[in-house]
Amino acid sequence: MIIKKRYVEENESGAYFTAYLLEDSKELLPGKKRPVVVIAPGGGYLFTSDREAEPIAMKFLSLGYHAVILRYTTGNIEEGRIGVGKQALKELAQTIYYLRQKSDLWYLDKDKIAVCGFSAGAHLAANLGVHWNNKELIDSLKTKEKRAEDIKPNALILGYPLLDYEVMLHKAKLEAENEELKGNFEFIKIANKALTGTVDLTEDIIKEYSPKFWVSKHTPPTFLWHTATDNLVFAENSLNFALELAKHKVPYELHVFQNGGHGLALANEITANSKEQINEDCEVWFDLAANWLKKHIPLS
Amino acid sequence: MIIKKRYVEENESGAYFTAYLLEDSKELLPGKKRPVVVIAPGGGYLFTSDREAEPIAMKFLSLGYHAVILRYTTGNIEEGRIGVGKQALKELAQTIYYLRQKSDLWYLDKDKIAVCGFSAGAHLAANLGVHWNNKELIDSLKTKEKRAEDIKPNALILGYPLLDYEVMLHKAKLEAENEELKGNFEFIKIANKALTGTVDLTEDIIKEYSPKFWVSKHTPPTFLWHTATDNLVFAENSLNFALELAKHKVPYELHVFQNGGHGLALANEITANSKEQINEDCEVWFDLAANWLKKHIPLS
Amino acid sequence: MIIKKRYVEENESGAYFTAYLLEDSKELLPGKKRPVVVIAPGGGYLFTSDREAEPIAMKFLSLGYHAVILRYTTGNIEEGRIGVGKQALKELAQTIYYLRQKSDLWYLDKDKIAVCGFSAGAHLAANLGVHWNNKELIDSLKTKEKRAEDIKPNALILGYPLLDYEVMLHKAKLEAENEELKGNFEFIKIANKALTGTVDLTEDIIKEYSPKFWVSKHTPPTFLWHTATDNLVFAENSLNFALELAKHKVPYELHVFQNGGHGLALANEITANSKEQINEDCEVWFDLAANWLKKHIPLS
Amino acid sequence: MIIKKRYVEENESGAYFTAYLLEDSKELLPGKKRPVVVIAPGGGYLFTSDREAEPIAMKFLSLGYHAVILRYTTGNIEEGRIGVGKQALKELAQTIYYLRQKSDLWYLDKDKIAVCGFSAGAHLAANLGVHWNNKELIDSLKTKEKRAEDIKPNALILGYPLLDYEVMLHKAKLEAENEELKGNFEFIKIANKALTGTVDLTEDIIKEYSPKFWVSKHTPPTFLWHTATDNLVFAENSLNFALELAKHKVPYELHVFQNGGHGLALANEITANSKEQINEDCEVWFDLAANWLKKHIPLS
């Protein structure tokens, strides 16, 4: 394996990606351009979680895919680094562009680039999925050519994604008196500020930052999974997004497991820091996702 | 195994169930009262499909559950047997009641009765799930006592269920010009007549016959699966129902697979009459459902 | 499903089989002649265990196979019913013959008859596998025609089989001082008497009753599974038998799992009477066997 | 991930290993010393196959294990580099020693070092398994201390291993006239020369180079898998080795799949260069091995 670390914007933002590239071998698929999965870890736009980074990369590598982990720009309330959502989105777009440029050198199939995100990282992935043909985003690219198709992901895998701020706010109102959820709602507020720059989400902001409102027939095929008892990012995010995908006839697959908290990553001991993060029922999500991904970006 | 065939209403309607009862053995869980799954095959309320009957029973029997296949009353337009929905619902309720009465004799755990339905049969199962505590239904029982808890299912498994007539009509309008779907819409019309007695579904009828509108906190835990490309009973039926379950905090699990037509049954060669009915991706639904069911009506 | 119970020899011996026949349906594989699995439960030729009977039948039925449970003649030392091995073998042969006669009536493919045995039942199954073309056995049939091909099984599935009395006696000597195994060796002695009529196994008897010595190119394809820590019927039975199958180029598959006691049946809670009989590692044997069986007697 | 490449003997022989080390993270099992799998690819001691190198490492990394690929010294008949068996064995031993030295620095649990080999690489792995306490081997170490326990593997995974030269020669005689196998026997001869330095295997050489003869109670727990139709390295190698493991009460697990040629690696498209190397039945070996390995060198 060859590991390449690259700053996304020549170190301006500090964002970087690490590419894990399987080696070309004359004994095994010589000259094979492989599909690649770009991983966007979660962390409420406040950090990028290691639990959703390297272990996920290893899983895709074990399937014969290249893997790339993007450490996108995250917010820091104290340092005043807020409203990072658009910056992170540009970085993801820039990363996809960069990978396509490296197609020959890195034995990478430029028509087979998936993005796999978790939580806030899934929000980021979905945002690229719905906005890759947005003029403003394209124009912001630090690239010679400004072409939508250079930044389009070919498939999305979204784990417990935040996709719908209407749902988030609606539930926050409904459950305002729920003591158990208070901590969660506080975290969401800080995360919202990191993402949007404010805690007071106006209708315009809600619309702007909710991928749900931007689904179109141009959105790439999408795999979603969630737990019905996720008390931080509610499963309705995925249900509503799936309804939009259905409406626009975008191929999609959705799995909502009955039990499990937010942030399960692989849902087994490989990514667990506590017993609660081991969940045999949910662990199957990765095999379901891998099986689905093969339909869209097959190894061969 | 012991097989019992019983007419649900002393042969008035001709509806009957066949109970497949695992034998009690002094060598194996002696005296064990087993959970039971009542199977409601689909067929648009026009017949009950063998593809969703015996093979499904065998799967649950192989897990150590008793299985019961209900051949409920279906419609026949030519013979004027229409509007059978309520009759079928009463038969299902009567069946659950009957099984609870036989609890001791048949070694059957009366707190562990699931209903597993497909398509129209899933509509039927869901209807019992949302209406088991409906006074009219309870009063219609041909039983000594009239008690809601006697007919309440403890869990529901719904395969490509029809749950939402709003979605059905909305899609019919949207896709009115779609030549490919014309045959499907014709079938749905006939099925609607068999169920409701009319093809002109008023708002009242839509509400009355759509389980989606009747979900409450009293609805039992529910497992749903669908294919996103089901062109007869659209996946939105399940998505919208899941949103209602979430709203009322009913435990649920939902799996929407990307590809696959309507009526896959086990999705493998055991229930397939054509290649299209073999679908390896969807076949996993049964294991997911069995795993889920264990949480609600475990063998031990 | 249709259940048929038949005495194997017009009730002379009391041996009988129960056939579980999936129903023919015009909706599902109409007129389909199905493969069938004949199940020979274990029990040291002293009884036939329910744990290895109905639950196993249900598993094969769930795959779309017919299933037949044979309750063969077993020994009873006190009543002087010993040396039952040959009687049981004749009953199994007679059963296979009978099923082939019923091929049309029972929708049963006479070229797709497997025998699945456990422990002593696997010894019985293997004995038919190696002796189906034995003249004495054929002549003993209570049938009009006496033809080897009428009693030949098309495939064998052997769970923790006793196949090699050399190994059994050798280990008994080696472990003579092992207190833990004393009870097991006592049981084996009684089982030996039930089978052969004596506890003093001469070389001739050892040879006669050990399927290992009779493997030939005519032995049907065989699937074996065992646990390495089986302290009653040692895994060497299967290892040595596999060596013979390899020598004679008979297709075979063998799985020896590291941990697990004798008599696991399905190795899950469905057939367990104690925690020790639940063994997740071994549970996979059935799927491996089913997958293997499809190669030899496919559903379609 | 951190990749370390080290020459095993300060570049004397050119042999080297590549260690793929999962990164320590304060978010995920901080300070965790992980188990490690050392991979010995096959290639008849004539090369080390890429098909059994990186893809295998990726699988173990995906389970949370560190992985190390050893590129041991192989023979070259034309260059007169023959009899490399002992050199390769020393290199493997040296590698294990080296890893234990790096335990703290590389977050590597020195009590959890497995060796996973294929074909000739499995021969190498098994040789260390049976000879790690051999004085000559220990004395040959280029280390300060010369201690057996420093080079003992804690578990072995052997894929289609060559373990028994008696079987190899016996089959070669039996099948001398088999035209189909001629090419295979020629390859084996060259491989034998590469390994032992001669094509005329005397009884002494056979004994010396057959791990089968050296199994003892000190041999580590072993997992073996093979295909029954392997026409290069016959399955009897594994069957006979398993008999020895059983005799010495070494925990073992063995899976012999019915169909499949030699050298399947992962048996799926990830390691396949041809359709014949894709074998769904055998592909399960890795999950079986991983499940087994967890018992001996668990992640936590």
Residue A270's CB is within 10 A of a number of other CB atoms, namely 23
| Interface ipTM > 0.95 | yes
pLDDT at B11: 64
Asked whether residue C12 carries a pLDDT value surpassing 80, the answer given is no
Chain A contact present for B174, CB below 8 A: no
Question: How far does D173 lie from chain A, in Å, by closest CA?
Answer: 32
Q: Which two tokens stand for residue B104?
A: 């001791």
pLDDT tens for residues D15-58?
A: 999 999 999 999 998 999 999 999 999 999 999 999 999 999 99
Q: One-letter amino acid identity for C203?
A: E
Task: Give percent of chain C with pLDDT exceeding 70.
Answer: 99
Contact B159, B235 (CB under 8 A): no
> In sequence order, what E strands does D87-208 have?
108-118, 155-159
Asked whether residue B300 carries a pLDDT value surpassing 90, the answer given is no
CATH architecture type of domain D2-296: 3-Layer(aba) Sandwich (3.40)
Residue B175's CB is within 10 A of a number of other CB atoms, namely 16
At residue C274, the 3 state secondary structure works out as coil
Q: Are D and B close enough to touch, i.e. 3+ CB pairs under 8 angstroms?
A: no
pLDDT at A125: 98
The domain spans of chain A are 2-295
Mean pLDDT of C86-111: 97
Residue C11 — very low, low, confident or very high, per pLDDT cuts 50/70/90? low
pLDDT tens for residues B257-288?
A: 999 999 999 999 999 999 999 999 999 999 99
Neighbouring chains to C with at least 3 Cβ pairs closer than 8 Å: B, D
CB contacts, 8 Å: D173 with chain C: none
> In sequence order, what E strands does D122-241 have?
155-159, 222-227
Neighbouring chains to B with at least 3 Cβ pairs closer than 8 Å: A, C
pLDDT tens for residues B60-87?
A: 999 999 999 999 999 999 999 999 999 9
**Mean pLDDT, all residues of chain A:** 96
> In sequence order, what E strands does chain C have?
2-7, 16-21, 34-40, 66-71, 108-118, 155-159, 222-227, 252-257
Q: Are B and A close enough to touch, i.e. 3+ CB pairs under 8 angstroms?
A: yes
C25 contacts B54? CB cut-off 8 A = yes
Phi-psi region of A267 (alpha: psi -120 to 50; beta: other; left: phi over 0): left
pLDDT tens for residues B26-61?
A: 999 899 999 999 999 999 999 999 999 999 999 999
CB contacts, 8 Å: D282 with chain C: none
Find the residue in D nearest to A1 (Cα). D54
Phi-psi region of D11 (alpha: psi -120 to 50; beta: other; left: phi over 0): left
pLDDT at D20: 98
pLDDT at A151: 98
Mean pLDDT of D232-254: 98
Find the residue in B nearest to A227 (Cα). B253
Residue A24, classified by CB atoms within 10 Å of its CB into exposed (0-12), middle (13-18) or buried (19+), is: middle
pLDDT at A240: 98
C270 contacts B54? CB cut-off 8 A = no
Give residue B135's Cα distance to chain centre: 21
C64 contacts B299? CB cut-off 8 A = no
Residue A300 — very low, low, confident or very high, per pLDDT cuts 50/70/90? confident
Mean pLDDT of C274-285: 97
C295 contacts D259? CB cut-off 8 A = yes
Mean pLDDT of D55-71: 98
Q: Are B and C close enough to touch, i.e. 3+ CB pairs under 8 angstroms?
A: yes
pLDDT at A11: 64
> In angstroms, what CA-CA distances link D146 with C241, D72, D138, D151, D240?
43, 21, 6, 9, 32
Chain B contact present for C27, CB below 8 A: yes
Neighbouring chains to D with at least 3 Cβ pairs closer than 8 Å: A, C
Q: How many CA atoms lie within 13 A of C121 on its CB side?
A: 28
CA pair distance C171, C233, nearest whole angstrom: 10
- Out of D221, D228, D243, whose CB is closest to C236? D243
Angle CA(D31)–CA(D36)–CA(D40) in degrees, nearest 5?
A: 160
Q: Which CATH number fits domain A2-295: 3.40.50.620, 3.30.300.30, 3.40.50.1820, 2.30.130.30?
A: 3.40.50.1820
pLDDT tens for residues B226-264?
A: 999 999 999 999 999 999 999 999 999 999 999 999 999
D49 contacts A1? CB cut-off 8 A = no
Residue C295 — very low, low, confident or very high, per pLDDT cuts 50/70/90? very high
Chain C contact present for B27, CB below 8 A: yes
Asked whether residue D193 carries a pLDDT value surpassing 70, the answer given is yes
Find the residue in A nearest to D272 (Cα). A28
Interface of A with D in 263-292 (CB under 8 A): 269-271, 273
Mean pLDDT of B156-180: 95
Q: What values do phi and psi take at D111, rounded to 5?
A: -95, 5
Asked whether residue A128 carries a pLDDT value surpassing 80, the answer given is yes
pLDDT tens for residues A237-287?
A: 999 999 999 999 999 999 999 999 999 999 999 999 999 999 999 999 999
pLDDT at A261: 97
Chain A contact present for B253, CB below 8 A: yes
- Out of A61, A269, A299, whose CB is closest to D299? A269
Question: How far does C18 lie from chain B, in Å, by closest CA?
Answer: 10
Q: Which helix (H) or strand (E) holds C285?
A: helix C285-296
pLDDT tens for residues D148-162?
A: 999 999 999 999 999
At residue C4, the 3 state secondary structure works out as strand
Give residue D201's Cα distance to chain centre: 22
Question: How far does B284 lie from chain A, in Å, by closest CA?
Answer: 9
Chain A contact present for B63, CB below 8 A: no
pLDDT at B144: 86
- Out of D49, D51, D58, whose CB is closest to A61? D58
CA pair distance A11, C220, nearest whole angstrom: 69
Chain D contact present for C2, CB below 8 A: no
Chain C contact present for D259, CB below 8 A: yes
pLDDT at C144: 86
Chain A contact present for D55, CB below 8 A: yes
